[in-house]
Every structure is written in C-alpha cells, then in structure tokens.
Amino acid sequence: MPSIMKRESNLAAFTFFAKSLGTGDICGSNGLPILPNSISIMGRSQYLKSLKHPNLCEFLGTLRGKHERTVVVSEYNGTPLNEFNHQFDQDDILRIFYQVATALNFMHEHDLTHNSLEPSNILIDTHKNVKLFNFGLFYMTNSGKYVSFPIGNVKYTAPERLLGMRDNIKGDVWSIALIVAELVLGCTFWANLKICQVTRKILSLLSTNNVLEKIAREHERYDEYTRIDTNLKTLLESCLDLMSDKRPLPMEIIENEIFIEKEKFEFKAETPKSLLMRCPLSLVYYLWQLAGGDVLSDLKKEGLIKNEAPILLMPNAVLLDGKEVALPKSQNHLFDPKIIFLSLNNLMEKVSKIPKRDFFPLIHTPKYGYKIDPEYQKLPLIIRERDTIYQFYRMMLMSRLIQGYPYTRDMIIEQSRQFDIPPPLRGKIWSCILGVIKTGKYEWLDKETPTSTDRQIEVDIPRCHQYDELLSSPDGHLKLKRLLKAWVVSHPHYVYWQGLDSLTAVFLHLNFNDEEIAYESLCKFISKYLHWFFLKDNSAIIKECLAKFSQLTAFHEPAMAKHLATINFIPELFAIPWFLTMFSRKLILCPS
C-alpha cells in the first residue's frame, strides 16, 4: 500500500467503506433491524487481535465513522518490497520466500487466507525480516461480502480466484510464487497493462503446461529462467501449477529441501532502541490515544476523509415504495490503498521523563516499586483513566502482576482495591480476582445440540446491549449464544432466567476473543454472588433479597421508603431484575 506521509512510527491506518444497505433493507425476515455491514466487520475483526506472529503486522483495531466508514489500525514495520530499487541475491529471495510461507502457514493453521498478497503488502526491515501487512482485510469483510470493491491485486491473483473460488490458501501460494518469480527474473510482470488486459493474461495461462516458463518467455527473460537454481525452479513451478490441489501447502514449502539451512532464513528479532517501542504495540496504541491521538482527525488532515455536499448524493427519483433510482456513484466509496502513519511525537514527549527502570517494575522489591503520587488518588476515576502517565504506570505494573498469576493473585486484588483497574486489562484482572484458571472444560461442552431454552435465548440475544458494536454484531450474537448454552448444559440444577444474557454479556464484552475465560468468569461470579438465584423455583431467595433491600432502604432513605409504601410501589414491581442481573442490564458497556 502506498503511504502519503513520512514514516514517523510503526503504527499505520487506512480506511474504506463497508457496503451500504439498500434503502428498503431496514428489517430482516425476523422483524429485527438489519445490522450495518461496518458493525459486522468490527465483530469479525476482533479475532485478528488475538493473532500474534513475528511475520505478521500486528492488528490493533477498527473504528467506525459516518456512512459505513471503517478505519483499520495496524503495525507497519519495514519498507514495502515494491519500493526496493536494487536486485536481491538468491539468499535474500529465499529468505523472503521462506518467511512469507511461514506467515501463510500460521494463517492457514488459523483458517485464514490473505487474498491480497502483493509486493506492497510485504514489508522488509533493516535486518531483512519480513512482515505481511493487511493480512486480515479478506477475513474481516467476510470474504469480501461486506464491501463493494474487489479485494486483492488482479496481477497476483490465482486463476481459480478469478473464476470464483475463494477461501483457499493455495491461491496465496500462487501469489507468493509469482512475486518470487518477479524477483528471480528481475522484472515486474505486465507492468503497463490495464486491469482487463492483465486478467486476460492470467486466464490465458490456463492453456499452458509450464506457467513460469511461459511468463519468462513473454517478458524476454528466458535466459534468466534457465539460470534459476534447479530446486527453486521446481518449487516455483509446483506453486504455479494450474491445478490448485497440486500446489504445495505453506508447510510443504517451508519443509522443502531448498530451505534445509533454516537458520539462514528465519526471523531475527531486533530490539528497538526506544523503551516505549519494546512494550506491546496494543499498549503503545492505547497510550497514543490517551496522549491526544485521533485516527479520524489524522485521516481527515491527510485528505483520506473527504466530505461531499449532501445534495450531490441525492437520487434522481424516489418511487412510491421508497426505492431510490439512479443513485449517484461516489468515488470516495472505492477502496483507497493509501495509508497514514500515526505520529508518536506527543506520546514520546510525555513518556520521555519517565525513568528507565519504571519500564521494568519489580513487584517483589518494595524499594524499587512504584510510588504513585498521592495527588492522583484525589482525582476522579474518569480523570485518572484518561491520564497518560498514570495509565502507563498502572498498565506496566498490572501487566507484570497478571504474568505472575495465580501466584500474584493477592497482589492483584490489593492493587485493584487500593487503586483502580486499567480499562484495557479489566477482563483479565476480573478473571484473576475471581480465581479463574483455564481447564479446557469449555471446549468439550455441547454448545450445538438444541435444548428447551434455545427459543428464549434467541429472543433475548437481539435485545441484549445492542447499543454496543461488538455485542450487536453477528459474531457477538453467536458467541453470546454459545456461552449461554454452555452454562445451561454445565449447570443442570439451574435453569435459564431472563437476565442471564445481560450478565453474560458483560464478561463476553471484556473477553471477546477468549470465550473460555468469559465462561469461567461467569460461572465463578454466579457461584459467589448469585448462588441459588437461577433455581427453577427461586422465589425464596428472591423474597429474602427483596426483604433485605426494603430494610436497607427504610434505614438509609426513610422518607423515600415511606412514600413508596404509601403508593404501594413494592420492590417486587421494580427491583427483581436489578438483583437477578446484578444491575448489568442498566450498565453501559464502555469500550475498553
């Protein structure tokens, strides 16, 4: 992807529009509103945050703007392959080939395909390490169904994909083989042709027996073709086989005899000079936002977000049934491959005064422990949560304590009680406080077999915290349903009561990418705070709870209690959902 500004950091952003719903597409067959595609994209993109691999640019998040605008924030570390002017030697080419294949193998293990593999998405750093950029666009858009533009560069697209086949890792194998072939032959294929001409060229390859040789002859590079190492030539020709099932998988490429000296080609990690950049990128991005960073403002400043006069977007005619005719096509809704880099200057300036030792907290040595300014504790929580330096100290300390869980559980509880919980770590810290330890039990629970509670669950989920972008997405609905069914199956002595969905939604929101932690946290929470509330006959525990509530109300607010009693407004009329859901139905789920 071409950039439009100087590389000031390794955080980058790009934007695109999700496919807009038709004017008449307001409600589905079930009578519920149809979700915007941008929300569906946000739900799917959360999975990408959980993927960490040295050869993939870390995915940091998505944002929604107006009119289905979607913004993607990601790591961007290195120089795009297409910006190198010099020719690579064979060892460098093999290193690129090996590391891209390693990344593709990781993606294949996680049921992902890149589908947008091209030189501009292959980044090479100063140590000749390779990272793939924009690897999740095809996945988050549900194989391109949520956008109105094609994904991928036609030049590097496998023939079967042009003919309609999708979600096949073998198509990515074709792409990387074509890119490596360009490096080996020393030229760019079909550089001056239009898209339609390139498409015809690729489809014409279906009539040949040796794709690599034909391309070499076509570009007058047959001599270079004959000089290619025999093993490399054989591997490239197998990757460019017209029958996708005959192409090797990424793992088979990695294990090819040409890469027998794996140490020469593997990723060599470099240590950033800046201590801040040694921190997880998710932490850097969070602190960047607290320091005043605004992705949408930066995109607008660089001209990637343009406003059009509303009158220019009006249809030529509107039929009596509400259907709009001859809608004008806006060029802004096409995919723009440009990216911007997020400047870290403000953040660097703020953290420059932090002592180096504070980046490495010693949790068992009070002498070198953090001494938080007492003045911070006098500030309201909302102010502390927006203070860059304070959140830096809290995040560094609590992250270190979480790494030591369960042995540091008492320290986590004490820190949470004495100070506060950093918003990005709330899910993990809550699970530590509840004493959650993964056992693998959730994976084996039957979450598919229909049960008598399915109908009520399906009715409740579309009404549960639907203002939240994650929980309202199709992925959010699916995860919430699995969690509820798992809880019902694993607790046969309990029944599903309306309100359990609101309680479960809180833990899902905090652990969207870890259903097992969400499930275990829910079970621990109910066992500790809502014991017996979900019995088939819970009238006794409800009456007990309401009686205590009435007594407390009468003690603390006697005037209000007297007034409620006078108008016969008893707690049974309004308070039962409060205790059954622990007030989660009324809480606003703020993004962490």
pLDDT value for 273: 84
Cα 571 to chain centroid distance, Å, stands at 43
pLDDT value for 360: 87
pLDDT tops 60 at residue 492 = yes
* Higher-pLDDT residue of 6, 286: 286
> In the chain, what percentage of residues exceed pLDDT 70?
92
The yes/no answer on whether domain 79-137+148-264 falls in CATH 1.10.510.10 is yes
Q: CB neighbours (10 Å) of residue 528? A: 10
The pLDDT-based confidence of 315 (bands split at 50, 70, 90) is confident
pLDDT tops 60 at residue 222 = yes
Find, among 497, 553, 554, the residue nearest to 526 by Cα: 497
pLDDT tops 90 at residue 35 = no
pLDDT value for 211: 92
pLDDT tops 90 at residue 263 = no
What average pLDDT does this structure show over 249-253?
95
Instruction: Please state, in angstroms and as integers, the Cα–Cα distance from residue 360 to each residue in 100, 410, 505, following that order.
Output: 33, 20, 35
- The radius of gyration computed from the CA coordinates of the chain, to the nearest angstrom, equals 28
What average pLDDT does this structure show over 15-28?
74
What average pLDDT does this structure show over 444-472?
90
pLDDT value for 29: 59
The pLDDT-based confidence of 157 (bands split at 50, 70, 90) is very high
Residue 560 one-letter amino acid: M
Peptide bond into 272 cis (omega under 30): no
Q: CB neighbours (10 Å) of residue 87? A: 10
pLDDT tops 90 at residue 308 = no
pLDDT value for 38: 93
Domain boundaries defined on the chain: 7-75+279-353, 79-137+148-264, 355-435, 447-591
Q: Which residues contact 380 (CB under 8 A, 6 or more apart)?
A: none
592 vs 569: CA distance, rounded Å: 38
Least confident of 197-206, 307-316, 514-523: 307-316
Tokens 């995109």 belong to which residue?
Answer: 299
Q: Is residue 364 helix, strand or coil? A: coil
Q: Is residue 268 helix, strand or coil? A: coil
* Higher-pLDDT residue of 327, 540: 540
pLDDT value for 367: 61
Are 546 and 572 a contacting pair, CB within 8 Å?
yes
74 vs 133: CA distance, rounded Å: 8
What average pLDDT does this structure show over 254-270?
89
The pLDDT-based confidence of 202 (bands split at 50, 70, 90) is very high
CA-angle at 420, arms to 416 and 423, nearest 5°: 110
161 vs 167: CA distance, rounded Å: 9
pLDDT value for 316: 73
Least confident of 271-280, 327-336, 578-587: 327-336
pLDDT value for 370: 65
Among positive and negative, which fits the CA dihedral 126, 128, 129, 132?
positive
pLDDT value for 327: 63
pLDDT tops 80 at residue 558 = yes
Average pLDDT, the chain: 89
pLDDT tops 90 at residue 182 = yes
pLDDT value for 365: 76
Q: Tell me the per-residue pLDDT of 77-130, one tens digit each, with 9 for 90 and over.
A: 999 999 988 788 999 999 999 999 999 999 999 999 999 999 999 999 988 999
What average pLDDT does this structure show over 305-318?
73
pLDDT value for 30: 61
Q: Tell me the per-residue pLDDT of 375-408, one tens digit each, with 9 for 90 and over.
A: 777 889 899 999 999 999 999 999 999 999 999 9
Instruction: Name the pairing type of β-strands 79-80 and 122-124.
Output: antiparallel
pLDDT tops 80 at residue 428 = yes
The pLDDT-based confidence of 532 (bands split at 50, 70, 90) is confident
Assign domain 447-591 one CATH number from 3.30.70.20, 3.40.50.300, 2.40.40.20, 1.10.8.270.
1.10.8.270
pLDDT tops 90 at residue 551 = yes
The pLDDT-based confidence of 515 (bands split at 50, 70, 90) is very high
pLDDT value for 578: 86
Are 304 and 340 a contacting pair, CB within 8 Å?
yes
Q: Tell me the per-residue pLDDT of 48-90, one tens digit each, with 9 for 90 and over.
A: 999 999 999 999 999 998 888 999 999 999 999 999 887 889 9
* Higher-pLDDT residue of 307, 263: 263
138 vs 95: CA distance, rounded Å: 26
